[in-house]
């Protein structure tokens, strides 16, 4: 690494670590969830980047070069294509039946993964239930005789190791050493109730279970807790940055009273436990979180980052800005459907509302996936503006 | 509406499943006339309308809508024997599908359940519906409203493809077009040339009712 790159990397890490302590760094840090859009920007389809790690890396280097953000997410959202085809996923889809790539990777809710009668089994031994029931119902190659299943798992492990080494390790390493851009996340997990919804019972299932099978939902979250915690903290270098990526899925579909009963207990414990390992949870706060701000304020102060999608940002800063670092806020709707000047005006207001005192990371409200998710010229103009206007004096 | 079935409306509005099931069972056992059966259905419609209002007031959340749709579905099954071959009266027709390229349908299904509860005849084309499929169905059933649903941002472009196909087939002026889903906005509505947009099922249903009443 050249001295210049080393210095740049240092500055960026410093900028972010200061920000998340809710103190003022030299300027507002910038990052966004660049995912399959990065590939489209280089002329590559989702299949290109999910199955060819060189094309994936090339796309991310181009983003690094042209957008000059302070940190980039590892391309986990692009996903490892070969592992899903090898295992015969029933949920993730990269291309249609004619082999034509989708404009973004699609996830369809798994069907009939776990019936309501199976709660006791899940609660008794979640790991056993996952291995013996849940995975075979989600992946065709794991729903076979033991020898075939072992062969499929072996293949998948081999693919996964290669993926991690190339698509994550080598790519993030190069972003650091060549571009001075640190990785945004070092691991990820989900909250237990989200995991129960996403991988076991589905949205409809959980929505009715919290009324008809209340105790079992609570017990299932408790049972899944150690599994989900372990997923986040295994073999990690310590330190508050890079963050632990945690997308939050169901909360804003629950009324606050239900959130408190079913989601909050394991949500809060997960955050506290991650912090006790000296890790920073970065929460994807999808939807409108205003009704739940009181719960956010119960979390340990200055230890959590939250990507905000909706809401009145002035109010967000006033309400939870002393507790968590706020990230995001720039609507891709504005990036795409406004003039450059209008987009910059919007960004200016975000900085005015959210940056004072630190604790703000500038970025888009949503992940960048499909080809038209961001008008590149407007996005560049907005980032350039934030670099100038977001300087702390 | 008939006061006689007000407790049915109330049970559904309060999401009290046991009370609703009991009330419907009692009503069915009493052997209602065709007119009374229609009143019971109307009581359910009003209950669902209350659920929609409570959602808009911020009292209920999407999970509550899903649960409401679920208990109503069970309720309608109980009522099925009382509803004659002619069925219940409909207030309008909807043709709906997920936008071309989009494989998601959870939001669409919530919207459909609420539209059916509101008295619409719904023709659901499923997921990833090609523009010509929309055109074909619109020609066949001549709906009042066409709904295009999308979760992913990619659907914001393909919603426009559907609307253009309707235009080319000379069908656009005969229908109202609503786009729905998390990523839609007023700007998108204008860009693709829809008549309305909605990011949640409840306000979407309200708009559709206004259209057919007007």
Overall number of domains in chain B: 2
Spatial distance between the Cα atoms of B23 and B44, rounded to a whole number of angstroms: 11
Q: Contact A106/B191, CB-based, under 8 Å?
A: no
Spatial distance between the Cα atoms of A227 and A190, rounded to a whole number of angstroms: 10
Residues of A in contact with B153 (CB under 8 A): 104, 332, 366, 369-370, 372-373
Domain boundary at B61, B82, B103, which? Answer: B82
Interface pTM (ipTM) of the complex?
0.89
Domain boundary at B35, B62, B82, which? Answer: B82
* A379 in Cβ contact with A365 (< 8 Å): no
Domain boundary at B33, B49, B82, which? Answer: B82
Taking the CB of residue B196, how many other CB atoms lie within 10 A of it?
20
Among candidate residues B7, B104, B123, B197, the one labeled active-site is B104
Residues in chain B: 214
Q: Is the peptide bond before A331 cis (omega within 30 degrees of 0)?
A: no
For residue B34, how far is the Cα from the chain centroid?
24
Chain segment A117-155, per-residue pLDDT in tens:
999 999 999 999 999 999 999 999 999 999 999 999 999
Residues of A in contact with B106 (CB under 8 A): 109, 203-204
Task: Confirm or reject contact between B19 and chain A (CB < 8 A).
Answer: no
Q: Contact A250/B63, CB-based, under 8 Å?
A: yes
Residue of chain B nearest A204, judged by CA positions: B66
Q: Which two tokens stand for residue B70?
A: 């679920």
Spatial distance between the Cα atoms of A319 and A306, rounded to a whole number of angstroms: 13
Structure confidence at residue B59 as a pLDDT band (50, 70, 90): very high
Average pLDDT over every residue of A12-40: 97
pLDDT attached to residue B85: 62
Full domain range(s) for residue B167: 92-213
Query: Domain residues of chain A, as ranges?
Result: 36-68+75-176
Structure confidence at residue B2 as a pLDDT band (50, 70, 90): low
pLDDT at A253 over 60: yes
- Please give the mean pLDDT across all residues of chain A: 96
Q: Are residue B115 and residue B151 in the same domain, yes or no?
A: yes
Q: Are residue B190 and residue B105 in the same domain, yes or no?
A: yes
Residues of B in contact with A104 (CB under 8 A): 152-154
B89 assigned to active site: no
Q: Are residue B96 and residue B201 in the same domain, yes or no?
A: yes
Question: A305 to each of A103, A260, A390, B31, how far by Cα in Å?
Answer: 30, 20, 19, 60
- Report if residue B42 sits inside a domain: yes
Q: What percent of chain B has pLDDT over 70?
A: 97
Q: Contact B154/A210, CB-based, under 8 Å?
A: no
Q: Are residue B20 and residue B99 in the same domain, yes or no?
A: no
Beta bridge partners of A225: none
Q: Are residue B203 and residue B115 in the same domain, yes or no?
A: yes
Establish, for the pair of chains A and B, how many residue pairs have beta carbons separated by less than 8 Å: 79
Taking the CB of residue B34, how many other CB atoms lie within 10 A of it?
12
pLDDT attached to residue B81: 86
Nearest to B209 by CA among B123, B118, B88, B121: B118
Taking the CB of residue A105, how many other CB atoms lie within 10 A of it?
24
Average pLDDT over every residue of A275-280: 96
Spatial distance between the Cα atoms of A198 and A20, rounded to a whole number of angstroms: 29
- Report if residue B98 sits inside a domain: yes
Q: What percent of chain A has pLDDT over 70?
A: 100
B123 assigned to active site: no
The CATH number of the domain holding residue B181 is 3.40.50.280
Average pLDDT over every residue of A347-354: 97
Q: Are residue B37 and residue B104 in the same domain, yes or no?
A: no
DSSP conformation class of A357 = T
Q: Are residue B123 and residue B62 in the same domain, yes or no?
A: no
Q: Contact A337/B191, CB-based, under 8 Å?
A: yes
pLDDT at B86 over 80: no
Residues of A in contact with B187 (CB under 8 A): 333, 336-338
The CATH number of the domain holding residue B32 is 1.10.1240.10
* B48 in Cβ contact with B66 (< 8 Å): no
Q: Are residue B167 and residue B144 in the same domain, yes or no?
A: yes
DSSP conformation class of B152 = S
Q: Are residue B51 and residue B100 in the same domain, yes or no?
A: no
pLDDT at B80 over 90: no
Average pLDDT over every residue of B134-152: 97
- Report if residue B87 sits inside a domain: no
pLDDT attached to residue B173: 96
B102 assigned to active site: yes
């Amino acid at each position: 690494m050249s001295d210049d790159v080393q210095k740049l990397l240092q500055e960026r890490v410093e900028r972010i670590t200061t920000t998340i302590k809710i103190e003022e760094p030299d300027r507002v840090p910038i990052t966004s969830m660049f995912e399959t859009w990065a590939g489209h920007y280089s002329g590559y389809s989702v299949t290109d980047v999910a199955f060819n790690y060189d094309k994936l890396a090339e796309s991310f280097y181009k983003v690094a070069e042209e957008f000059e953000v302070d940190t980039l997410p590892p391309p986990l959202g692009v996903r490892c294509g070969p592992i899903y085809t090898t295992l015969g996923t029933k949920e993730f889809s990269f291309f249609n039946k004619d082999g034509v790539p989708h404009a973004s990777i699609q996830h369809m809710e798994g069907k009939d993964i776990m019936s309501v009668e199976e709660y006791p089994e899940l609660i008794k031994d979640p790991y056993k239930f996952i291995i013996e029931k849940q995975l075979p119902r989600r992946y065709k190659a794991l729903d076979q005789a033991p020898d075939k299943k072992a062969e499929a798992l072996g293949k998948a492990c081999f693919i996964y190791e290669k993926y991690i080494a190339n698509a994550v390790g080598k790519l993030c390493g190069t972003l650091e050493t060549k571009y001075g851009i640190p990785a945004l996340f070092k691991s990820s997990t989900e909250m237990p109730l989200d995991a129960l919804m996403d991988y076991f019972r589905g949205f409809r299932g959980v929505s009715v279970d919290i009324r008809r099978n209340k105790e079992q939902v609570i017990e299932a979250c408790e049972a899944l807790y150690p599994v989900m915690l372990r997923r986040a903290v295994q073999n990690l270098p310590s330190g508050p940055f890079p963050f632990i990526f945690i997308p939050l899925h169901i909360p804003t579909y629950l009324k606050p009273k239900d959130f408190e009963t079913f989601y909050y207990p394991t949500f809060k414990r997960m955050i506290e436990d991650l912090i006790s390992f000296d890790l920073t949870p970065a929460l994807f706060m999808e939807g409108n979180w205003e009704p739940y701000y009181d719960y956010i304020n119960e979390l340990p102060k200055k230890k959590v980052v939250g990507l905000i999608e909706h809401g009145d940002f002035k109010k967000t800063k006033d309400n939870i800005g002393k507790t968590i670092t706020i990230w995001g806020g720039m609507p891709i709707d504005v990036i795409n459907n406004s003039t450059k000047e209008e987009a910059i005006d919007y960004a200016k207001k975000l900085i005015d509302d959210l940056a004072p005192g630190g604790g703000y990371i500038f970025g888009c409200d949503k992940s960048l996936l499909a080809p038209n998710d961001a008008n590149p010229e407007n996005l560049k103009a907005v980032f350039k503006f934030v670099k100038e206007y977001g300087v702390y004096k | 509406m008939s006061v006689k079935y007000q407790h049915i409306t109330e049970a559904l509005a309060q999401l009290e499943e046991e009370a609703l099931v009991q009330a419907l069972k009692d009503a069915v056992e009493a052997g209602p006339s065709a007119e009374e059966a229609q009143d019971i259905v109307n009581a359910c419609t009003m209950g669902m309308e209350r659920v929609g209002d409570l959602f808009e007031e911020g009292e209920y959340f999407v999970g509550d809508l899903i649960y409401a749709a679920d208990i109503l579905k069970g309720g309608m099954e109980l009522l099925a024997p009382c509803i004659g071959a002619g069925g219940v009266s409909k207030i309008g027709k909807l043709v709906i599908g997920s936008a071309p390229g989009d494989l998601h349908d959870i939001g669409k299904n919530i919207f459909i359940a609420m539209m059916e509860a509101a008295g619409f005849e719904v023709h659901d084309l499923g997921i990833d519906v090609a523009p010509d499929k929309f055109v074909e169905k619109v020609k066949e059933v001549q709906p009042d409203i066409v709904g295009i649903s999308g979760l992913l941002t990619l659907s914001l472009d393909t919603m426009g493809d559907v609307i253009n196909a309707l235009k080319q087939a000379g069908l656009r002026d005969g229908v109202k077009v609503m786009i729905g889903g998390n990523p839609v906005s007023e700007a998108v509505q204008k860009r693709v040339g829809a008549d309305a947009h909605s990011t949640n099922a409840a306000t979407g249903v309200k708009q559709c009712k206004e259209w057919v009443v007007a």
